[in-house]
Amino acid sequence: MKARPPLERLAFIARRLRAGKGVNATIVAARFEVSSKTAARDITFLGDRLRYDFAWDNRRNTYRLLSAPAPVL
């Protein structure tokens, strides 16, 4: 599978978080065949620019959603 546009990666991350599933850079990188750094930037973008509030879960080694704005897509 070729790397998909950033919007598709962001939507994937948002869907996982909203579904109560954890997400981390490794999951995103493997799914979209991008680097872990790219995946980490996507996760950071969701928090910084799109105002998703999530926290790192050390036990599960993933980010978990605390709160999010209403979906726009």
How do residues 3-57 score in pLDDT, each as one tens digit?
Answer: 568 999 999 999 999 999 999 999 999 999 999 999 999 999 999 998 999 999 9
pLDDT score of 69: 86
DSSP secondary structure letter of residue 60: T
pLDDT score of 2: 59
- Please list the alpha-helical segments (H only) found in 3-68: 6-18, 25-32, 36-48
Domain ranges of the chain: 6-63
CATH topology of domain 6-63: Arc Repressor Mutant, subunit A (1.10.10)
Question: pTM for the complete prediction?
Answer: 0.87
Q: What amino acid occupies position 17?
A: L
